[in-house]
């Protein structure tokens, strides 16, 4: 059911400092998001596309390639490049609970339960890749939405990486603070499980003792591969679940 190639209005601005391949990728992505490029439709061959835009084929390929990596396009040799034919849209992202709640239209609120500097327990030091007795900052927060508790979050950070005033932590999310401090988050190792609530957790979160909790442990790395944060969080399973988009790399 392959249709004929779509004729899109595309153009690039050579005076802009934005790379040409990136301009093209943005326009194509937008055309896909808005539905101007329908799922399953062919993109037209790379050489002709390059000629139409006054670009070279490698540049066009770079633009298309980035969208293929995101899972928006599919290339098939001998056939052409077509828009992926499904509801798959958003690429995988390193999610932060704060941004998740904001995106869901909720109003996240945070209470800092404690914040202290001390020597790292062995497990934390190992996860962060610091010396066994190194100093780390430990922050415990309670995150709520609509005045209902959602999660208890325990975070450990290497000392000196970042100032964490309590008022800033109560006003926004940890990831936002890190980004604002010039730290570029790059990847995270995450483990998700479940267990029954202890008495203290039940009390804090407003659940019954033994209620199912969703647990997450995460080590986050910046673009140089330094571990910048180790988090150990518990969520009320009745109020929260994780959504991921996984991409397989060939």
The verdict on 20 binding DNA (CB under 7 A) reads: yes
195-219: burial string, b at 16+ Cβ within 10 Å, e else: eebeeebbebbebeeeeebbebbbb
Q: According to CB under 8 A, which residues from 164 to 203 bind a second copy?
A: 185-196
CB of 46 to DNA, least distance (A): 4
The verdict on 61 binding DNA (CB under 7 A) reads: yes
The verdict on 129 binding a second copy (CB under 8 A) reads: yes
Cβ atoms 136, 156 nearer than 8 A? yes
Give me Rg for the CA atoms of the chain: 23
The verdict on 239 binding DNA (CB under 7 A) reads: no
Q: According to CB under 8 A, which residues from 91 to 110 bind a second copy?
A: 91-94
Which three-class secondary structure state does DSSP give residue 85?
A: coil
Q: According to CB under 8 A, which residues from 5 to 64 bind a second copy?
A: 39-40, 58
CB of 61 to a second copy, least distance (A): 11
Cβ atoms 88, 81 nearer than 8 A? no
CB of 1 to DNA, least distance (A): 10
Cβ atoms 97, 115 nearer than 8 A? no
- Number of C-beta neighbours around residue 91 at 10 A: 12
Nearer to a second copy, 11 or 184 (CB): 184
Provide the binding-site residues for DNA, judged by CB under 7 A.
Answer: 2, 17, 19-22, 43-48, 54-59, 61-62, 75-81
């Amino acid at each position: 059911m392959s249709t004929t190639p779509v004729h899109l209005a595309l153009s690039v601005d050579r005076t802009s400092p934005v790379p040409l391949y990136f301009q093209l990728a943005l326009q194509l992505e937008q055309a896909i998001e808005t539905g101007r490029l329908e799922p399953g439709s062919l993109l037209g061959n790379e050489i002709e596309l390059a000629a139409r835009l006054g670009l070279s084929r490698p540049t066009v390929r770079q633009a298309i390639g980035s969208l293929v990596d995101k899972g928006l396009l599919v290339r098939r040799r001998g056939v052409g490049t077509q828009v992926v034919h499904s509801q798959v849209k958003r690429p995988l992202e390193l999610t932060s609970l704060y941004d998740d709640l904001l995106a869901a239209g909720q109003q996240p609120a945070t209470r800092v339960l404690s914040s202290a500097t001390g020597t790292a327990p062995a497990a934390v030091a190992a996860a962060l890749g610091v010396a066994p007795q190194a100093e780390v900052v430990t922050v415990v927060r309670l995150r709520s939405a609509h005045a209902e508790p959602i999660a208890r979050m325990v975070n450990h950070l290497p000392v000196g990486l970042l100032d964490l005033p309590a008022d800033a932590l109560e006003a926004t999310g940890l990831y936002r603070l890190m980004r604002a401090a010039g730290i570029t988050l790059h990847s995270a190792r995450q483990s998700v499980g479940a267990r029954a609530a202890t008495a203290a957790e039940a009390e804090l979160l407003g659940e019954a003792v033994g209620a199912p909790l969703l647990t997450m442990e995460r080590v986050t790395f910046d673009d140089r591969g330094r571990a910048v944060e180790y988090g150990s969080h518990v969520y009320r399973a009745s109020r929260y679940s994780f959504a991921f988009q996984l991409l397989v790399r060939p």
